[in-house]
Structure 1
Amino acid sequence: MQASSPPSLRELQQLFSDGLLRPTTAAQASLSRHLCNEGLPAAQRLQVHRHTIQQALTTSLQLIFPAVQALVGADFFAFAATEFAHAHPPRHGWLDDYGDAFPAFIAAFKPAAGLPYLAELAQLERLVNQVLRAPDEPHCDAAALALLDEADAMLVRFAPRAAFRLLAVRQPIDQLWAAVLADDSQALHTLDLDAGPAWLFVSREAEGLVVQRVPAHAWQFAHALCQGEPVGAAAAGVADAAPALLQAHLLRRHFRAFFLSSQT
């Protein structure tokens, strides 16, 4: 019987990846056939690499989701991180954005079903991470905006800065996040997670990271602008409050540029 040809480098790399990050019996068996058994057996060699990679991925998630880990404990978090790595292996070596799928994973993670607030807490921490590592960008030229006549001003669309994000949550996750990170046991004891929804701005500003709770109408106005709606359409839901809300955004430099609706 003719011996099968050895795998290509790409095939061997895929076998190695599957054996490390999707450690099924079949994946490990396929990889073990191509590993040297001198010294340590192939399975033990593979376990060394698997432990190293899993530790790196868990550490990455710990840095992005410190409040989640503090709430569930290190052991539970490590278990969840391992399951996440099996379901969502990294696609590249840059791990700063590795946790982007973690909130959705936690929302469907059955062992965390008794903690319905956990996924939204993870959403907030993901946004905090994205805002903190967002590139520095120029800010909107408010002086040029002020030169527009009233008709053109209503046609203005804005491009938000990457360091300005919005989050609407069903529970007071901002208060939970702050209390957990401050290790404020009194705040945690008195926090009412059934207090209702919250609308949040998450931004990196001159004074550092800002997580701000805002009224629903202010959030809807900002959301409309960030989605590219012209000022006139975005202002329809806030009436007379629109000028003050827009001025606050400009002062805090939430937008990197503006253009008229007729411009491409």
Structure 2
Amino acid sequence: MERQEISRIAHRDHPIAAPLSDEAVRTLLDRLLRDRPAGRLLDLGCGEAPWLLRALAARPALRGVGADPDPEALRAAQRAARLLGVDRRIGLHHGGVREFTASEPFDAVLCVGPTPALGGPGPALAAIGPLLAPGGTALLGTAYREGGGPPGPSDGGLPDLAGTLAAVRAAGWLPVAGHTSSRAELDAYAWARTGALADWALDQPPGPDREQALRVADGWRERWPGSRGGGAGFVTMVLRQGS
């Protein structure tokens, strides 16, 4: 199976592909779109577009655009948009987040999850900047390294939280709000995605897909309990461009 299919299966029970509770998602969207009941919202790496769909359902004058390289996730997003009655206010584009371009800027841009694929917070914000209208806001979500010591191969070279904030500031952006995922949110996310993948695998006949899914779930599970007191955290920031 391809990585995208594994991710879709793993997120069946946790539609936000990040360790965030429903309350945290609602609070962050409210802050991102404060004083913007209308306008245009972009989600880079939208997947099945849960952030966009929640924003559009709550704001009847808002329009949304999502971009993602996974065509099946986009088809699922389109089906969900029809069920919610927001399909006329959403546009979905198949392609990589690096390649996305727009003819007019957006009032707000979401990028929660694909930050490492873009090269880290600095390069991600460099990609977001040209897509954002003056005075607009961005929502950036990214993992960071917990615990002491320098970054290394075991943690993917992630900076710690202070280093993440320094990279944001060095890129010319300022946090105006944010959410650091709690241990409960991190644990709930880990339980959901390892459990969903194992559950799916146990319903499959013996074969390569079943074995791959179980192997991936086992790997995630082995790394997760060892992260207590270290490992990775997750921070989601509402940002504005500064001097």
User: Could you say which structure has the greater relative contact order, defined with CA pairs below 8 angstroms and 6 or more residues apart?
Assistant: 2
Larger radius of gyration: 1
TM over 0.5: no
**Comparing both structures, which one devotes a greater share of its residues to helix?**
1
TM-score (structure 2 length as normaliser): 0.23
Indicate the structure with greater strand content.
2
